[in-house]
């Protein structure tokens, strides 16, 4: 695995959540452009892609072993992520090796998470993406049944994902954010729209409006790029912004909120 993987892997991961396999392909292309046009400074920058890639599949294997064994369904879920990322054969072999390493009793889970947080320092959106990948694999592998849910919940706490965020991410992925699920947009249900905005149905109009503006600000491509978001992630930011706007329009229409 070389340092030139950084943009391709992260671009592919972003693209996966932006639009399935096709989005992964777009993300990988953007990531390739990022690799060709950037030169990360320092050891952490040079090793970022390798850290993120390894941790993704090691932790996935660790969580799959949560109940003491790894089922065929969990292996299929992990392979589905690899397929959606359109990893080439050497990369698939590397991902499988990482997955197997994560299953071992002596796997240093705490150290891996610590290293991940270090290389993602100042980039919480990447930690959220990492968590979404683990949540997706867990949903497809066990439907997030105990004790898998307990492991994923502890991972969320380690990454700074709050309980409400956990619930919103789970709801969004169950409603259409993973392979085989029906797409959440444009036929976004009202419940799904509230989940995208990360606000409850019982919120006031003012609270819903504030949540919409907060989410739009958090994911706005121009703002994220100005804060250092690499080009490989811009497409994801655009997709998320579009999803947020669609959710707002759904909720606004249901409530009769005027622009």
**What are the mean pLDDT values of the chain's consecutive 10-residue runs (259 residues total)?**
50 54 46 43 52 88 94 94 76 92 96 91 79 89 94 96 88 60 59 87 94 81 55 56 86 87
Contact (Cβ atoms closer than 8 angstroms) between residue 225 and residue 3: no
Query: At a CB cut-off of 8 Å and minimum separation 6, what does 140 contact?
Result: 73, 76, 77, 80, 178, 179, 180
What letters, b where the CB count within 10 A reaches 16 and e where it falls short, cover 124-156? ebbbbbbbbbbbbbbbbbbebeeebbebbeebb
Separation between Cα atoms, residue 182 and residue 194, nearest integer Å = 17
Domain locations in the chain? 5-179, 184-259
Separation between Cα atoms, residue 200 and residue 207, nearest integer Å = 9
Which residue is listed with tokens 């970022």?
48
Quick one: pLDDT at residue 97?
96
- Of 180, 178, 150, 167, nearest to 62 (Cα)? 150
What does the DSSP assignment read for the chain? --TTHHHHHHHHHHHHHHHHHHHHHHHHHHHHHHHHH----HHHHHHHHHHHHHHHHHHHHHHHTTTSS--HHHHHHHHHHHHHTT--HHHHHHHHHHHHHHHSTT--HHHHHHHHHHHTTT-HHHHHHHHHHHHHHHHHHHTT-TTHHHHHHHHHHHHT--HHHHHHHHHHHHHHSSTTSPP-SSS--HHHHHHHHT--TTS-HHHHHHHHHHHHHHH-HHHHHHTT--GGGHHHHHHHHHHHHHHHHHHHHHHT---
Quick one: pLDDT at residue 192?
85
Q: Which fold has domain 184-259?
A: Helix Hairpins (1.10.287)
Quick one: pLDDT at residue 86?
67
Contact (Cβ atoms closer than 8 angstroms) between residue 173 and residue 16: no
Quick one: pLDDT at residue 226?
55
Quick one: pLDDT at residue 38?
43
């Amino acid at each position: 695995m070389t340092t030139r993987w950084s943009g391709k892997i992260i671009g592919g991961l972003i693209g996966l959540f932006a639009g399935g396999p096709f989005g992964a392909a777009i993300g990988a292309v953007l990531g390739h452009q990022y690799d060709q046009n950037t030169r990360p400074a320092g050891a952490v920058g040079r090793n970022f892609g390798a850290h993120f890639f390894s941790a993704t599949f090691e932790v996935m294997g660790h969580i799959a072993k949560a109940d003491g064994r790894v089922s065929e369904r969990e292996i299929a879920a992990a392979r589905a992520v690899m397929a959606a990322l359109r990893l080439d054969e050497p990369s698939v072999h590397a991902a499988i090796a990482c997955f197997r390493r994560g299953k071992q009793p002596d796997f240093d889970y705490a150290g891996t998470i610590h290293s991940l947080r270090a290389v993602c320092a100042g980039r919480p959106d990447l930690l959220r993406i990492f968590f979404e990948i683990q949540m997706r694999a867990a949903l497809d592998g066990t439907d997030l049944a105990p004790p898998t849910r307990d492991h994923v919940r502890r991972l969320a706490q380690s990454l700074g994902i709050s309980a409400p965020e956990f619930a919103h991410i789970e709801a969004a992925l169950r409603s259409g954010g993973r392979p085989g699920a029906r797409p959440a947009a444009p036929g976004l249900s009202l419940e799904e729209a509230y989940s995208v905005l990360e606000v409850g149905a019982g919120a006031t109009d003012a609270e819903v409006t504030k949540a919409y503006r907060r989410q739009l600000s958090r994911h706005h491509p121009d703002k994220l790029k100005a804060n250092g978001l690499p080009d490989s992630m811009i497409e994801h930011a655009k997709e998320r912004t579009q999803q947020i706007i669609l959710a707002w329009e759904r909720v606004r229409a249901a409530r009769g909120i005027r622009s």
